Structure 1
Amino acid sequence: MSTVSNQLAAFIHGTTIDGLRPDIVELAKTRVLDAIATALTSRGLPVPAPKLATAFVRGNTGSSTVIGSRSRVPAIDAALVNATLINGSSLDDFLEKSHPAAVVVPAAMAVAEEQDASGADFLVSVVAGYELVGRAYMGAPGMLPRFRATGVAGAIGAAAAAGKAFKLGEAALMSALGYAAMFASGFGEGFHAGTMEVKFNVGWAARSGVSAARLAYLGGTASPSVFEGKSGFFRAFGGNVDHVAAATQGLGERFLISDTIYKEYPVCIFVQTLMYLAGDLVKRHKLDAAQITRVSVLAPKDTFENPGFQNVAPYANPLQAHTSASFCTAAALLGKPVAEHAFYHKTTDPEVLALAAKVELLPPSGDKERVVVSVVCGGKTYEIEAPQMDMLRPTTNKVVEKFRRLAEPSLGRATDEVLDVVMGLDRIRHIGELTHLLQLDND
């Protein structure tokens, strides 16, 4: 009987650039473009995890690029640093409760560069990685809120991307997934404290995925029943095997990368919808924030229980603030510059804190998808609702605009060249044509 690992490995091995629809190839390019933009942005921000990761690998030498730096390090180290860079700006994308770009793109890029792979091969690795991030979660949704999906499912996706870049056979890909399942880890307590381990966990997932693929490349073996087995991944992280069929259902028919959403605000993905709705409510009804007496927020259970969502003042650091529904909703209602990273360092803004104290987070209801924001202002009640994250679907034009805005301060005149290379990745012979453009004098 074919195991989950058998089926996933066969999918990864059998996926080729010629077998992908043009729209999926286009999506993969935009995911790479978005990841590069968010990584370059992080280099100019006072975010600690990328600096710690850079210090951790300092002195190591190899053939893989650290984005925005002249440094070239071993693939596992490049995956680590680049993952913390992509995730460090809190602007990276989201799929099935994980941040796939932050684990998949660094793993695929690091190994592809080491192996002198083509741009087309790199893109296929990215598509495979996104698919496995999603399917690892879908098979064990009970991992939330006890574990952090990006650290757990993300390690599987990173291994898939790296394994594809290594051109592993099906048996070796099964082992790569098995090692990644063993290395998977991470939980969200740091979001309550605002400490950096939750950011570093993303980097470690990417590093673990590359390590898993390399072990398989060198001949290491792992259990073929690693996912559904009696002591396997699904039971360990999800608590049961009730969703095992979801991990492979429709595999290869509809690619999960098409479900990816993206961020415009540098805050937790679970508060993005609230901020869009709050801002829209103010614009639509021309609300005077000074007259707001009460705000209530109703969100799905997985949103409500996400670590940091229920954070309240005092906020000791930006991470505590930009995961807090109360802080972010209040800031959006007040028309604060919520698209700017610098704003979230003003965690003691008296206007925001005063309004945040009026925000009530209602216990989740039976509606598993919708977010509702209700505001009492001037004695009248105004309400707006929408499906969670529904307005966060990326288009190529949106991603290109975001890339130009975020990347130009670092790339300068090379911005258009990088854009052209990424959007033509399926036609370039060596991934080095892209990575050498990302080697900047920003150490």
Structure 2
Amino acid sequence: MTPQTGHRLWLLAQRAQRIAQMELPEPVLTAATSVLLNDLSCAMLASGPVVDKATVLVSMSGTRRRNAATPLGTRAKHDPSDAAFLGGVRTHALALDSTHYPSQAHLGSAILPALLATAEESGITGSALVSALVAGWETAALVGEAFVSGVMARGLRASAAFGGIGSATSAAVAAGLDTQGIANAIALSVNFSAGLSRTFVDGSDDWSIQLGLSAQAGVRAVQLVRAGFQGAAGTFHDDALPLLWHDDARRGDHVTAAHRLDHELEPDSCVKWRIIDTVYKWYSACNILQAPIALAVGFVPKLAADPASIKEIRCFLNPEDWAYPGICNARPQTLSGALMSAAYCVATTLTHGELDLDLLHQPHNDAQAAHLSERVRIIADPKLPPLAARLEVTLANDRTLSNTLVPTDDTFAFTWGRLSDICADRLKAAGHPPSQFGTLASTVASVTTLQEATPLIAAACL
């Protein structure tokens, strides 16, 4: 591969290298450490049947090499690619992980497990680890923003499509690969970049392993490069992109999308630092449902703990949010269906006063919330921006409660202090001693002073 044969791919790799070698601005460092804090605490909190099955699966493969890695949230040792897979599953298990919303992708759950598995093996410093995280995030977010509409139109899940690109970039940088090596790793990772959003409609387990596979793809891509494999130089050429991420209905859009990359890939172009746009969640549900759930929580005191008094509920969402797979699920039977269902999440919140994670794991056992969810209508409203919601609750006496939440830049972009409090409360509620979160928070806060990644991984172990 040369700069001429793989023009866009080469420039992506060069850009990632350039970012990794920069002195990162303070807001970028804060954003990166916030991703570490939130997503490592998610890995510590991970529970449920899917996590158990993934743990058994990885354990069956054994530790096949001397330079083994530690899956996030555990103390076991496994092959780095297996460790990355389990770490990705754990980080994404409760749907509380960080999101780059413009690309609709949970990048942290893909990048961090691959990066930490590679860092544990390569022995890079904490400062280099943060730089590799940012390099991978900026690469995946840039590509994701350009192509997300085509990916989603084809029925693919953005996290699965772009997560592997981020994990491969971060792992390649952490492994010390040169520009050609990084480019090859990115190209090879695209071969693993797949996953359907249909999982949220059917309530299947696919969603729960997609980020694990994306994390694994990053480690595997680096392993392939080290073994001498080369990726397709034309991965991002105009004629290749429709085959990857665009269906017939959008033919021709790929040129416009690809060209969105070009002006940011020039060596002297400014980096937009998309990691600063990371959003976090108050509730264990889809990002789209954070506003409706928050509005439902606000209505609870006005209902006098009597959901039976509710005659009808109308939940208005932005049309693109409304159309996202799973949002209009009526009677979910599984966790994946429940955490995407606007009707069920709103009904559960109004029934129990909060979004009960245990009930989300077994929605078929909550007859009261299921009955109320049948009275919820989900309506597309073009006047609402993305992530906004309007909730109207009509009571039996025909009185209507109504409120609208339009998120600002601060609504889901938490400060370090707010995020720390939320993560600490979650771990405490799950039965973890306060000292455990204190160790994690202090280690993450001082990550750039660490001589190696091992203390960071140890702080996230149970």
TM-score (norm 1): 0.90
Local SS of the residue matching 1:227: coil
Residues 267-315 of structure 1, C-alpha deviations (whole Å, 9 max, x = no match): 22221221112223445898964432222222223322222211112x3
Match of 1:8 among 12, 17, 27: 12
The answer to whether 1:269 aligns with 2:277 is no
Name the structure 2 match of 1:143: 151
Alpha-carbon contact 2:339-2:360 (below 8 Å) kept: no
How far off is 1:160 after superposition?
1.1
| Contact 2:168-2:222 at 8 Å conserved across structures | yes
Describe the SS at the equivalent of 1:383.
strand
**Aligned pairs (5 A) from 1:255-266:** 255-266=273-284
Distance, in Å, in 1 between the alignment partners of 2:351 and 2:453 is: 45
On the 8 A contact 2:300/2:353 being kept in 1, the answer is no
Instruction: Kindly indicate whether the alpha-carbon contact (under 8 Å) linking 2:338 and 2:360 is maintained by their aligned counterparts in 1.
Output: no
Does residue 183 of the first structure (1) align with residue 192 of the second (2)?
yes
> Which residue is 2:129 aligned to?
122
User: 1:92 is matched with which residue?
Assistant: 97
SS at match of 2:213: helix
Output one character per residue of 1:123-155: Cα deviation in whole Å (capped at 9) or x when no partner: 111112222232222221211150011111111
The one-character-per-residue Cα deviations of 1:407-427 (angstroms, maximum 9, x if unpaired) are 454466343222211110101
| 2:85 counterpart residue number | 80
Equivalent pair of 1:40/1:406 in contact (CA under 8 Å): no
Question: Where in structure 2 are the equivalents of 1:152-301 lying within 5 Å?
Answer: 152-232=161-241, 235-239=243-247, 240-241=253-254, 242-247=256-261, 249-250=263-264, 252-282=270-300, 289-301=307-319
Distance in 2, Cα, partners of 1:28 & 1:267: 23
- Structure 1 438/321 Cα, relative in aligned 2: closer, same or farther at 3 Å? closer
- The one of 309, 312, 315 equivalent to 2:327 is 309
Aligned in 2, Cα 1:80/1:246: closer, same or farther, shift over 3 Å? same
Which consecutive residues of structure 1, in runs of 5 or more, have no partner in the other structure? none
Which residue number in structure 2 is paired with residue 383 of structure 1? 402
Contact 1:17-1:124 within 8 A present in 2 as well: yes
Please report the TM-score for the alignment, with normalisation by the length of structure 2. Answer: 0.86
Instruction: Please give the alpha-carbon distance, in whole angstroms, between the structure 2 residues aligned to 1:407 and 1:300.
Output: 33
Aligned to 2:454: 432
1:64–1:252 distance in 2 versus 1, CA, 3 Å: farther
RMSD: 2.6
Number of residue pairs matched? 436
Report the identity percentage: 19
2:44 matched to which residue of 1? 40
Asked whether 1:64 is paired with 2:69, we answer: yes
From 437, 442, 446, the counterpart of 1:415: 437
Q: Is the 8 A contact 1:47 1:88 kept in 2?
A: no
Specify the SS of the correspondent of 1:63: coil
Change (3 A) 1:342 1:331: closer
CA contact under 8 A between 1:12 and 1:160: conserved in structure 2?
yes
Measure, in 1, the Cα distance between the counterparts of 2:400 and 2:262. Answer: 46
Deviates further, 372-381 or 24-33: 372-381
Query: For residues 177-196 of structure 1, what are the alpha-carbon distances to aligned partners after superposition, in whole Å with 9 as ceiling and x for unaligned?
Result: 11112221000222223221
Deviant stretches of 4+, over 4 Å: 248-252, 281-288
Shift of 1:439: 4.3
Q: Cα offset for 1:343?
A: 5.4
Most deviating of 384-393 and 130-139: 384-393
- Once the two structures are superposed, what CA deviation does each residue of 1:179-214 show, in whole Å capped at 9, x if it has no partner? 112221000222223221221121111111221123
Structure 1 position 49, deviation (Å): 4.2
Question: Does the Cα contact within 8 Å between 1:310 and 1:325 map onto a contact in 2?
Answer: yes
SS at match of 2:191: helix
